[in-house]
Amino acid sequence: MTQGAGQGPVVRTATLRDFRVPPYAQVPVQGHSEHPHPRMPEQAQPPRVPEQPQAHHTDAYAPAATHSAPHPGNAFPDDEYPDGYTPTARDLPVINRGDTVQVSVTSTPVTTPAPAPAAAPGNGPGPLYVVGDVHGYLDELVAALREKGLIDADGHWAAGNTRLWFLGDFTDRGPDGIGVIDLVMRLSAEAAAAGGYCKALMGNHELLLLGAKRFGDTPVNSGAGTATFQAAWLLNGGQKSDMDRLQDVHIQWMSRLDAMVEQDGHLLLHSDTTAYLEYGSTIEDVNETVHEILRRNDADECWDLFRKFTKRFAFRDEGGAGAVHELLAAYGGQRVVHGHSPIPYLLGEVGTEDADGENAGPNVQGPHVYADGLAIAMDGGVTMAGKLLVVQLPLPH
């Protein structure tokens, strides 16, 4: 998910009191560990000094040691938000209503991979799984896929004709976004060879990374003064290590991702917004329009697409069900399944305390069903000490 611009970095904590861009988001991270990254409280975090990228330079990704200018986010005047940005924890409203429910997902120890999903009888399609926002947390993703029996102990596809969809946001904030993309690309080939498939949708962070790579600090039209993709990427968890390792094959793969798809009565998309309706009246139209915009390579047009995919919360509160119905009427399906907006915020689990008075992290057990049962939220808040969700559809009743 994308936070508001013009706000200072803070250290990541397990309390969910704030999830603005932490200092580590601007420090190169080399590789990834063999075990999931621990979620440490703020006081246990080793001190890090954020880099100071140069605001205007020819090589947008030169070594940070040569940078001395202020953070490029200072381009936004008077702490105003660029048009389309979403405020962060300080202003982010939460809901905790009786018509929402969190669906528990059965877990098995990550050290013992679950049996591979059973193949569908006959020649029909295999089981359908979806994955929420990953944001560079490669170890957590591998553990979650093993837990569901989708990959084996060596990280190879083990699910036969199973269908696996990622809902976008592979990079930024976590330590190994390129590693996540590499894994998804490899699993796509392995799944196809086994009679299944592993596919992915376009998230706003894919648009953000593409924009930062293509346009750097080129000014774009914004509703609040001068904005740049480079500044927005850094402010929203852009990792220098990801940019350094980004290759043409990754750029081509991201550029060709679809924005939405319908599967077994589920309309899968990344963002909980009705902005998709601005890009076409059918799924095919929306996907082709997004691809055309990226092919035209116009900075302002790509920025407008990015900011619209950053909008959120269209499906909650009093008008939420109506917004979902509007999307389903246009594109088909009986339910919308999305990522982007973290479940902890939809549940109101922000800054809670445990029985001992200590700050507690979110209690994310599974996807969040809301909007009169028409919407399923899949962003478990892995960047906020939550959970990376891999779930089979349809959900159990």
pLDDT at 172: 96
**Reported pTM:** 0.74
pLDDT at 225: 63
Cα 254 to Cα 202: distance, rounded to the nearest angstrom: 7
pLDDT at 151: 98
pLDDT at 35: 38
The reply to whether 30 falls in a domain is no
pLDDT at 196: 97
pLDDT at 60: 33
Cα 272 to Cα 316: distance, rounded to the nearest angstrom: 9
**What pLDDT tens digit does each residue of the chain (397 aa) get?**
443 333 333 233 332 222 333 332 333 333 344 334 433 333 333 333 334 333 333 333 233 333 333 322 222 233 444 443 343 333 334 434 445 556 655 444 445 566 777 665 557 789 999 999 999 999 999 999 999 999 999 999 999 999 999 999 999 999 999 999 999 999 999 999 999 999 999 999 999 999 999 999 999 987 666 689 999 999 999 999 999 999 999 999 999 999 999 999 999 999 999 999 999 999 999 999 999 999 999 999 999 999 999 999 999 988 999 999 999 999 999 999 999 999 988 887 654 444 454 556 678 889 999 999 999 999 999 998 889 999 999 998 7
- Alpha-carbon distances, residue 278 vs 167, 261, 304, 331 (angstroms): 20, 16, 11, 13
Amino acid 96 reads N
The reply to whether 27 falls in a domain is no
pLDDT at 148: 97
pLDDT at 116: 72
**Nearest residue to 137 (alpha-carbon basis) of 386, 395, 396, 391:** 386
Cα 169 to Cα 61: distance, rounded to the nearest angstrom: 21
**Domain coverage including residue 285:** 71-393
The reply to whether 246 falls in a domain is yes
pLDDT at 120: 58
Cα 182 to Cα 70: distance, rounded to the nearest angstrom: 33
The reply to whether 81 falls in a domain is yes
CATH number (domain holding residue 193): 3.60.21.10
Q: Say if CB 157 and CB 196 are below 8 A apart.
A: yes
Give the side-chain half-sphere CA count within 13 A for 52: 6
53: left (phi over 0), alpha (psi -120 to 50) or beta: beta
Helices (H), the chain: 138-147, 177-193, 204-215, 229-235, 240-245, 248-255, 283-296, 299-310, 320-331, 343-347
The reply to whether 3 falls in a domain is no
Cα 379 to Cα 93: distance, rounded to the nearest angstrom: 17
The reply to whether 52 falls in a domain is no
Three-class secondary structure of residue 251 per DSSP: helix
Amino acid 200 reads A
How many domains does the structure of the chain reveal? 1
pLDDT at 53: 36
pLDDT at 336: 98
The reply to whether 29 falls in a domain is no
The reply to whether 122 falls in a domain is yes
